[in-house]
Amino acid sequence: MIKIKEHYDQLAALLKERQIQAKGGFNFLGYNAPFQFVGRTNEIIIPIEWKE
């Protein structure tokens, strides 16, 4: 969970730097089995406020 928090913090900082407003919390998407150590694909997603 520590790495998930670190990556969330990086993404949140990038959104703030680019003045994109986050709308709510975050979700972790893990696509591989937990015992697969090499070649894993995971994502952190944050909903944003979309302005045109």
Q: Are strands 27-30 and 42-45 parallel, antiparallel or unpaired?
A: antiparallel
Q: What integer pLDDT is reported at residue 17 of this predicted model?
A: 95
Q: What is the pLDDT of residues 25-36, one digit of tens each?
A: 889 888 888 888
Q: What integer pLDDT is reported at residue 1 of this predicted model?
A: 65
- Cα separation, 36 vs 11, in Å, equals 24
What's the predicted TM-score (pTM) here? 0.70
**Which residue positions in the chain have pLDDT lower than 50?**
none
Residues found in the chain:
52
Contact 28, 4 (CB under 8 A): yes
